[in-house]
Amino acid sequence: MITRYLGQTDYHDTWTAMREFTDARTDEDADEVWICEHTPVYTLGQAGRQEHILNTADIPVVQSDRGGQVTYHGPGQVVVYTLINLRRSNLGVRDMVVRLENSVIGMLAAHGIEAAGRRDAPGVYVEEAKIAALGLRVRRGCTYHGLAMNIDADLTPFDGIDPCGYRGMAVTSTQKLGILVPREQLIEQLVSQVHEQLSAC
């Protein structure tokens, strides 16, 4: 599995690159994990409804092809895109979702924070507050998109939406939870957990 660190990227450009990679890949091509952070953007999933966007405050909105409703991406949030051949891995979509959730749960557990996934609203939660959002797309038997976890992001833009379609859902970050290790260290810990979860298939 190849890991690529892309730095801060434009959401639409990265989404286009993921689709092109997925359309061009063969069964022999290695799976890839792309790590980045985005300039501020709201993204709507395939089933996303405009009514869940309350006040964009000039932040652009992109209609995406991932699963899920609406979320926000911005600086201080790590995005982990998982370009995985499901057929070769013998994984279903639900398996992928659980493994990605477990990656965040495992990383937080190492810092003494108890977290959990929710089947009715994919993602990772600490008590009732969402710390990581999840959305996948399957094309040609392969996934793209992935997860986004808040580290030290400004959480104010989440007030402009119903996060993942839920009115009033609380959102948190590792910083708010009192995890104050450097951002790069947290990213490395999360990527390690993702590799561990996906190599266990």
pLDDT of 68 reads 80
Catalytically annotated residues:
164
The helix/strand/coil state of 191 is: helix
| Site of tokens 């995406």 | 64
How would CATH label the architecture of 2-198?
Answer: 2-Layer Sandwich (3.30)
Q: What is the DSSP letter of 140?
A: T
Letter for the amino acid at 78? V
Residues near 92 by beta carbon (within 8 Å), at least 6 away in sequence: 86
At 162, the pLDDT band (50, 70, 90 cuts) reads: confident
Averaged pLDDT score across all residues of the chain: 92
pLDDT in tens, 47-80: 777 888 887 888 999 899 888 888 999 999 999 9
Check residue 200 and give its pLDDT.
63
Between CA 171 and CA 154 the distance in angstroms is 11
What are the residues whose beta carbons fall under 8 Å from the beta carbon of 121, sequence distance 6 or more? Answer: 130, 164, 165, 166
Q: Tens digit of pLDDT for each residue in 107-122? A: 999 999 999 998 888 8
Q: Rounded to an integer, what distance in angstroms lies between the CA atom of residue 84 and that of residue 163?
A: 26
Question: Does the structure show a pLDDT above 60 at 201?
Answer: no
Domain ranges in the chain? 2-198
> Would the pLDDT of 96 be above 70?
yes
Q: How many helices (H) and strands (E) does the chain have?
A: 4, 10
